[in-house]
Structure 1
Amino acid sequence: MLPFPRRALGLTLALVVAVGVMSGPAAPAAAAGSISAQDSMSRSVASGWGKAEVGGAWTMLPSTVASVSAGKGWVTSPRPGRTSRLSLPASTRDVDSRFTMTLPAMPTTGSGLYLSHGVRATTDSAYLVGVRVMVGGTIELSLQKRTGSSVSSFETIRMKERFIPNGTLNVRIQATGSTSVSLVAKAWVAGAAESNARTLRYTDASSKRLAGAGGAEFSLFTSASTKALPVGVDNLTIAAPAVDTPAPTPEPAPAPGPNPGPVDGAPAAGARAAAGANEPGTVDYTVPANAIIVAPNGRDSAAGTVGAPVQTIAAALRKVPNGGTIALRGGAYHETVIIPPQKRITLQPYRGEAAWLDGAEAVGGFRESGSLWVRSGWTQSLDSSPTYKRGAPDGTSDGWRFVDPAYPMAAHPDQMWVDGRQLTQVASRSQVSAGRFYVDESADQLVLGTNPAGKDVEVSTLIRGLSIRSEGSVVKGIGVRRYATSVPSMGTVIVAADDVTVSDVTVRENATTGLYTWARNTTLSDVSVIGNGLLGAGASQADGLEVIRLFSSGNNRERFNRAPVSGALKIHSSSDVVVSDSVFADNYGQGPWFDESNDGVVFTGNDSLRNTGNGLVFELSEDAVIADNLVADNGINGIYIVNAGGAAIWNNTAVGNERNIAVTQDSRRSKNLTIPWLSKNTVIANNVAAEPEGSCIVCIDDRSRALTGAQMVTRADGNLYHRTSLTSPRSFAIYAQGQAGPSQTFTTLADFIAATGREKRSVLLEQATSPVNADYSLRSSAASQQKSIAVPVPTQIADVSDLSSGEVSLGARFP
C-alpha cells in the first residue's frame, strides 16, 4: 500500500506549526538554535516514556497509558472518552519543536482521536498544535490553547491528504515573543520537502496570551465512540529558533473558516469536467421588453422600467403579471423573497450584471472594551434548535445527534464577516479573541475580538433568502448568500411548488442548508452550493427531481456530525430521481446520500471526491442505476449500498476509498413491501476498484445474518480490482453466509471464484503501481485488457447514461 494517497494535489502532509518565524511562502527553513530538549525514543520503557536524552524525565497523568519500544514513544487513551498526557520539564519560551507521528491503525468509528503537542506548557495552560485523525484517515489540523483541561481552537483546517496505517507525519511548532504570539501551521508528508502549500495563521495578542516560558507536553484524547488506538511519537527536538522574529502584527487578520470552495464554474481538482453555476454577472441574459426592473438605487413607487426601476424584489412581485419576468440590476438585495402561489414568474439578472440576495448587512457602533470590541443594543435572537423540530433538544443515540461536541456552536446560525473574512462564533465572552465573536443575549451585546476600526463589518440578519411557492416558476443567474438559516428552517432557498426550475444559481455561505425542495418535478440545473453550514442541498417527497451539473463543495462548514445529515446532498422519500454530470467535492461529511424510501434513482456521470464521509450512499431504498461515476479518495466508503435493493453498479471508477464498493445489510426492516430495506439483487459489473484502504476489496456483508452473498449480489463480473500487495488489504472478499454463520473471508480472487462461481472474467492486480493515472483514468497497461475483462453494457443501463448499449469497457468514461 502507498504510504499516503498518490494524488496530493500539490499539498504535503507533515504538520508544521510556527509562531512568528516564517516571513512568507519563500521563507527558508530555519537552522536549529541551542537544543533544550531532544528524544529519539531509542530505549525500552514498559510504563511511561522514561528520561529524554536532553531535557529531563517525562512525567504523566495518573491514568495515562504510555510506553517506549521499537524506537517510538507510544501513547494510548486510558479508554474512549479519556485523555493521556505526558510532560517534559524543560522550560523555554522561544522554541522550535519538531517530532514525527505514526499510527499503526486508523479509527473505524466515532469522531476519531486527537493528538496535541504543547509548548510553553504549564499545569494551567499551553499552546497546542492539534492533529485530529478521523475515520478513513481524514486529518484536521488546529491551532489551539489549553486552559486547565479545557481546549479552545484558534483555527482549524482539513487536510486534503489522509493518514493510513503506519504513515508518518513530521510535526513542527515554533513559538517566539511575548507581547503577541503569532501562529502559523503547514503540512507535508514525511520524506518530502517542507512546503508552504497549506498554511494556517493566527496571532494571540489577547490579555490571556501565554507570554512566559514553559515545558512541552503530548496529549491524546479518543472520542467516546472510537476504539482507543496507540499513537507513536519519535524524533523530538526542541531548540531555540535560529532566525530573527518579524515584528508582531498588532491586529491579526480574522481567522478564516474552511475554504468555501472554488469560484463558480471552475472545475474541482480531479473532476472530469466543470459543474455548477457561472459566477454571477458573467452571463448576458436576454431581458423581455415588459420585464419589471429592480435596482438597489430604485424607488418602490417607480414604474419598474429600465429608466425607473423599483428598489426591492418585493415591490416587483406586486407589479409583475402572471408569467412575467423580474430582472435584477447588479448589486446586493437584503431581502427575504417569497414568490407567491398565484404568480408564475421568472427571476433573473439584468443582462450580464451580478445580482445577489444577501442576508448580511453592515453593522457599526462598536466601542473598545479592554481587548474586545462591543456593539450594545444587539437584540437579534436566532433559533439555535439543533434538529428539524423547532425547540427540540438534540438526539442522544448514535446517528441521531446533529451537533458534534467538538463544535458546540454548529447549530447557532449567527454569522459575521470583517473585511469579507468570516469569523468563528464562540460560546462565551471569555473565548473571544481575534477572528472570533460572541452574541451576549443577556446583555444585548455583540462582542468582537477583531478591531473593526476602518473595516467593513457585516452580520447575517435575515433567516431565509428565497421561497418559491408558484408552480412553473424559473429562477436563474443570481446568487444567494450569507443568510442566518436555522436547522428547522430547512434551507436558505426553498422550492415548495411543483415544476420549478432553478438554473445557474449560486447558493453559498449560509448558516445551515443551502437549498431544499419538497416539490415534484423540481429541476436543479447548473447550480452551485458552496460553503453552507450543514448541507449543500436536500430533498424530500420530491418525485421527478432532476439534478444536472450540480456543484457541491465545502458544505458542513460548521462540522455537524456526519449523521443524521451533513455534507453534499441528501435525498429521501422521493421517486424517479435523476442526478447526473455533477461534482461533489471536499464536503465535510457525506457525498450524495439517498436515504430512506427512495424508489427509482439514476445516478450517472458524477464525480464524488475527497468528502470526509462516504462518497455515495444508497440506503433504505430500492432500484438505482449507478453508472459512469468517479468516486475517489473519500474518507470512508466509495459506493455504499446499505439495506437497499436493486442497485445496478456499472462502469464506475472507485479509487482510494476505505472500501471502494460495499454492500451491507443490518437488522432494520420496513413494512413497505415495495421498499423492504433489504440489500438484494445488486449487480456489480465493469467497475475499476483500486487502492483500497479498508479491510476488503469485495465487501458483501450482512450483520443480521439473514441474507447470503448470492442473494445480496446476484451478478458480479467484468471488474478490475487492485491492491498494492497480497496483504493490503489481506482479504480479497468478505461474503455473507446468512443463517449459516459469520461472513466468509477469501484471500484471493481465485479462491472466491472457486467457492462462489462469481467474478469469472474479473481480474485482480496485485502490484505497487496503480492501474489508474493521476486523473483516475486507466493506465494504458490496464486499458489494453478491457475487452478480455469487461462484459457488454445492457441497453437499460445505456438508456439512462452516456454508456453505449453493448459497450465493452472498464470504469467511468474520461474525456
Structure 2
Amino acid sequence: MDRSRDSGWGTPNVGSPYTLNAANRFSISQGVGAMKILPGKNSYATSPLQEANVSARFDVSFDSLPQSGSVYAHLGLRHSGDSRYESSLRLTSSGKLTLEVSKTIAGKKTVIDSHLIASKATVGKAYRIEFEVTGAKAPTLKARAYAGDSVPQWQIEATQSGASVISTAGSLRIGGYLSAAASKSAGIHVDNLRAASASELDVAEAQPLELDLPLAEAKPLEADIPPTQETESPKPTPTPTPTPSPEQNLPAGALYVSPEGSSGAAGTLQSPLGSIGAAVAQADAGQSIVVRAGSYHESLKIPAGKKLHLSNYPGEKVWLDGSSTLNGFTSNSNGYSTAWKYDFDSSPTYTRGAEDNTQEAWGFVNDSYPMAAHPEQVWIDGVRQKQVKSLASVEPGSFHVDKAGNKLTLGTNPEGKRVQASTLVKALSIRADGSSVDGINVRKFAPSVPDMGAVTAEKPGITLKNLTVEDSATTGINVSAVNNQISNVSIQRSGMLGMNAVYADGLKVSKLNASSNNVEKFNSSPVSGGLKITRSRNIAVTDSVMKNNYGPGLWIDESVYNSMILNNDLISNTGHGLSLEISAKATVANNRIIDNGGNGIKLNNTNDVAIWNNTISGKNRVLNIVQDTRRGANKSDAGHDPRQSFPDSTMPWVIKNVTVKNNVLSNTGGGNAIVAVEDYSKQLTAEQMKITLDSNAYHRTGSTNPRWSSVWSNAAANPSVYTTLAAFQQAEGQDVSSFEVTASTVLNSDHQPTSAVTGKASSATVLPSSIASLIEENAGSKRLGAYSR
C-alpha cells in the first residue's frame, strides 16, 4: 500500500477493485492500511477471485485492547452473498489472542476450530495470518498465525463435507468485527496482503509465501492487493446484507461464562463467571448458561431437579477438556518419568470391581490388548501414546503408569514437546429432566467402563446437539433414560464405543457421526464400535454415519422393540455394518452399508423386519439371517428387558416376517454367499420364518466368488445352497423379479449403483407410502438400492 488516503484504500497496482461496506472506515497512511471497527458492526472489503483454491495472507496489528468483549481481524475466502470460510484473530480485553477458523452459511457463523496464539498479545505488534482453502467436494482449510520470521506448522487443519460446503471461487474478504458490548470503537492496521493460487493437485507441496516475494512472482489473482479508488463522484456501492450480531440470538436471563471471567462475577455478558461449574451452582432451574470460547478443565454435574440449558456463545468454540499438561520429566534407564497422582478405575466390565467375563466370546478385554480397560491416556504433541503393562516394556511411542510408585514413564523424549494426559474422569453427568447441551465440545476424559461414558444423559427429555466428543478412554456418550435426543453430534476415537443407550425408549438419534472408535481394541463382543442400543423401545437412528469403527457400525441388541434405521451410512467398520439381535420390529430403509468386515446386515433372532431400498456391499455375506437357540420365553437366556413382564409377548426372539425388497446386495468377494437364511437351532425352515425376498439386485465378482448366491434353511436338515440366483428362484419361488450381475463392481466411487443396476430399475417394486414417508421419498417411485443423497 504505497500511498496515503484519508478515506478508502485507493486503487490497487494489480487486481480488481475492492468493494468497501463503509469507505469512511478505511484509510492508508505511510503505506499501511487502517480499518475502524464500530461496536456490533463489521467493517470489510471484498474483491472477486478467479480461482477457488487459494493461499492468502496478511499482517495485522491491533491498535488497542477492547474495553470489553473481543475485537476480530478476518481473512475470508470463497465469500459469496453471506457465506464464506474465514480465518480470524480474536483479541479479548485481557489480551488473549486466538486463531479461529469458521464457516458462515447464509449469515450463520460456526467456529470450526481454534488455537491459542498468545496469552498476552502485544498491542501494535504485527501478527501474520495465513489461510489456505483447497478442494471442491470436501474442502480442506488450513490456517496459522504468528509473529516474527519463524513459520510454524499449520495450527488448524480441517476438512469440510456435506451439503453445505462452499466450492466456488467467490471473493476474498478482509475485515474486522467488534463485540456489541464494547463501549467505543476499535482499530486495526493491515499490510502485506497477498492471495495466490494453490493448485488442488499440489496442496501437499505448497509452500508459504515469503514476505519479500514480489507480487508479480506470487501469481496474483484478480483480488490481490488493495481496493478501489474513491473519486470525487464515486459510483454507488451496493448495500451489503447485514450480518446479525451474535448478541441478537442470546437467551434472555442467561448466565455467562468466560475464561477471562471470575468466581465473584455477576455472570452477565459484561461480567462473566470464570467456570461453568460456578454457573451451574448459581443457576436457577430452567435457566440458560452461555459459554464463551475457550478450554475449560472441569467435570460437571447438572443435578436432579435443576433443568439447565448449556450452550456455546453463538459461533464460538467451547471445549470441556479432561487433560492436563505434564512437566518435570527426568531421564532414567527406562525412559522419562514424572510424578503421577491419579488413580483411575480399570474395571473391565460394567460392574465396578468385577473381573472380566470368562465365558467364550463374552469377555471385554482381548488378551492381545491387556491394557484396554485402563483409562490412562497420554499424547505427545497430539500423538496418542500406547499404554504398556510393565516398565520393562516401555519404548518410544508408549508409556507406563506405576500406581504404587506414583510415577508415569514415557518412552519418547518429551524435551521441547507438549505432553498431555487425561486427569479427569467424566465431562458431564446430566441428571435433570429436560436439560439441554448445545455446542459444548468434550475431549480427553478418562471414564472407566463402569462410568458408562464421558457424557451421560441420565434422565428423561435431555437433548444433546451440535457437539463433538473425542478421545474418551472408553465410551463417548451414554443415554440411560427415555425420550432423549441426539442431533448433529460427532464422536471419534473413543477407547471402546462411540455411543451407548439402554432403557432409552423414544430415543431419537439424527446426524450422528461415530467414527474411528474402539481405539483400545476391546473385543467386538459384548460391546464395541460406533453405536449400540439395548433394552429400549420406539427408537430411531437417521441420517447418521458410523464409519471406520473397530467393531460393528450400528448394533441393536437385547430386546429393542420398534427400531427405525433410516438414511444412514455404515461404512468400513471391522464388524457387521448393521446388527439386529434378539429384538423385534424394525424398519431398515435407504441406508448405504459398504465395505464392512463382518456381514453387511446380520439379522439374528429378530422378527417383523422390513428391509427396503438399501445399498449393501462387502466381502462377506451381504445379508445374513440367522436363528439360534435363544428364546424370549427362556428366562436363563440373557438380554431380557426387566421393565417388561415376563414372558414379554413382543419378544419371541424368533425370526419371522422378514421382507427384503429393492436392495442392491453386492458381494465383492468372500463369505461364501450373497444372502443366507439359517437356523442353528435346527427347528425352522425359511418358509416357517416367513422370509420374503423380491426385486433385489444380486452382485458377485465371479461365478464362484462367492461360491453360492443363496443359502436357505431346511430346519433339521442341512440348508439348501444355490450357486445362482436363477436356481434359487426356480427352486424356492423367491426373488422372482430380482436379477444377478457378475462384474467387478456395480457401484461407483460415491456408492451409487452403476448402469448395470439402474438400467433394470423397472424390476423394482413401487415404493409403498409406509416406507416413502419415513425416508422422505416419493411413494410409487421405483428404485433399486438407496436413493441418491
TM-score bracket for this pair, using the shorter chain length: 0.5 to 0.7
State the Cα distance separating 1:398 from its structure 2 match.
2.2
Q: Distance in 2 between matches of 1:637 and 1:803?
A: 27
Task: From 745, 766, 771, give the equivalent of 2:721.
Answer: 745
Matched to 1:775, the amino acid is D
Task: From 534, 541, 549, give the equivalent of 2:503.
Answer: 541
State the Cα distance separating 1:800 from its structure 2 match.
1.7
Q: Distance in 2 between matches of 1:387 and 1:516?
A: 15
State how 1:600-639 maps to structure 2 within 5 Å: 600-639=562-601
Task: From 278, 283, 287, give the equivalent of 1:320.
Answer: 283
SS at match of 2:774: coil
The C-alpha deviation readout for 1:35-82, integer Å capped at 9, x for no partner, is: xxxxxxxxxxxxxxxxxxxxxxxxxxxxxxxxxxxxxxxxxxxxxxxx
Q: Distance in 2 between matches of 1:539 and 1:591?
A: 14
Tell me the equivalent position of 2:734: 758
Task: From 360, 363, 372, give the equivalent of 2:335.
Answer: 372
State how 1:434-449 maps to structure 2 within 5 Å: 434-449=396-411
Tell me the equivalent position of 2:709: 732
State the Cα distance separating 1:263 from its structure 2 match.
5.1
Q: Which runs of 5+ in 2 are unaligned?
A: 1-156, 164-244, 634-647
User: Taking structure 1 as reference, are residues 263 and 392 closer, same or farther at Cα in structure 2, changes over 3 Å only?
Assistant: farther
The C-alpha deviation readout for 1:251-298, integer Å capped at 9, x for no partner, is: xxxxxxxxxxx9586459xxxxxxxxxxxxxx9683224211111232
State how 1:192-231 maps to structure 2 within 5 Å: none
State how 1:40-439 maps to structure 2 within 5 Å: 266=161, 286-370=249-333, 372-376=335-339, 378-439=340-401
Tell me the equivalent position of 1:683: 659
State the Cα distance separating 1:597 from its structure 2 match.
0.2
State the Cα distance separating 1:578 from its structure 2 match.
0.5
Does residue 474 (structure 1) correspond to residue 436 (structure 2)? The answer is yes
Task: From 442, 445, 453, give the equivalent of 1:491.
Answer: 453
Task: From 692, 697, 705, give the equivalent of 1:715.
Answer: 692
Does residue 801 (structure 1) correspond to residue 778 (structure 2)? The answer is no
SS at match of 2:266: coil
Does residue 810 (structure 1) correspond to residue 773 (structure 2)? The answer is no
SS at match of 1:710: helix
Tell me, yes or no, if the aligned pair for 2:287 and 2:307 is still in contact at 8 Å.
yes
Tell me the equivalent position of 2:171: none
Q: Distance in 2 between matches of 1:540 and 1:263?
A: 33
User: Taking structure 1 as reference, are residues 598 and 719 closer, same or farther at Cα in structure 2, changes over 3 Å only?
Assistant: same
| Larger relative contact order (CA 8 Å, sep ≥ 6) | 1
TM-score (norm 1): 0.64
Tell me the equivalent position of 1:561: 523
SS at match of 2:447: coil
Q: Distance in 2 between matches of 1:698 and 1:266?
A: 33
Tell me the equivalent position of 1:771: 746
Q: Which runs of 5+ in 1 are unaligned?
A: 1-261, 269-282
Q: Distance in 2 between matches of 1:606 and 1:698?
A: 21
Task: From 516, 525, 529, give the equivalent of 2:487.
Answer: 525
SS at match of 2:539: strand
Task: From 474, 498, 513, give the equivalent of 1:512.
Answer: 474
Q: Distance in 1 between matches of 2:372 and 2:435?
A: 33
Q: Distance in 2 between matches of 1:528 and 1:711?
A: 42
Q: Distance in 1 between matches of 2:411 and 2:746?
A: 51
Does residue 694 (structure 1) correspond to residue 671 (structure 2)? The answer is yes
Tell me, yes or no, if the aligned pair for 1:752 and 1:758 is still in contact at 8 Å.
yes
State the Cα distance separating 1:647 from its structure 2 match.
1.0
Task: From 761, 766, 781, give the equivalent of 1:792.
Answer: 766
Q: Distance in 2 between matches of 1:745 and 1:284?
A: 64
State the Cα distance separating 1:737 from its structure 2 match.
0.8
Moved more, 802-811 or 526-535: 802-811
Identity %: 42
Q: Distance in 1 between matches of 2:627 and 2:506?
A: 28
Tell me the equivalent position of 1:125: none
Tell me, yes or no, if the aligned pair for 1:505 and 1:528 is still in contact at 8 Å.
yes
Q: Distance in 2 between matches of 1:757 and 1:616?
A: 27
Tell me the equivalent position of 1:200: none
Tell me, yes or no, if the aligned pair for 2:334 and 2:391 is still in contact at 8 Å.
no
The C-alpha deviation readout for 1:92-134, integer Å capped at 9, x for no partner, is: xxxxxxxxxxxxxxxxxxxxxxxxxxxxxxxxxxxxxxxxxxx
Q: Distance in 2 between matches of 1:362 and 1:771?
A: 51
Tell me, yes or no, if the aligned pair for 1:417 and 1:423 is still in contact at 8 Å.
yes
Q: Distance in 1 between matches of 2:491 and 2:159?
A: 9
SS at match of 1:792: coil
Q: Distance in 1 between matches of 2:295 and 2:364?
A: 32
Moved more, 420-429 or 365-374: 365-374
Matched to 1:653, the amino acid is T
Q: Distance in 1 between matches of 2:526 and 2:739?
A: 37
Moved over 6 A (4+): none
SS at match of 1:317: helix
SS at match of 2:770: helix
State how 1:563-602 maps to structure 2 within 5 Å: 563-602=525-564
The C-alpha deviation readout for 1:227-263, integer Å capped at 9, x for no partner, is: xxxxxxxxxxxxxxxxxxxxxxxxxxxxxxxxxxx95
SS at match of 1:362: strand
Tell me, yes or no, if the aligned pair for 1:465 and 1:480 is still in contact at 8 Å.
yes
Matched to 2:493, the amino acid is G
Matched to 1:683, the amino acid is T
User: Taking structure 1 as reference, are residues 708 and 652 closer, same or farther at Cα in structure 2, changes over 3 Å only?
Assistant: same
Tell me, yes or no, if the aligned pair for 1:628 and 1:802 is still in contact at 8 Å.
no
The C-alpha deviation readout for 1:754-793, integer Å capped at 9, x for no partner, is: 2211111010112x34222122211124212111x11122
Matched to 1:678, the amino acid is V
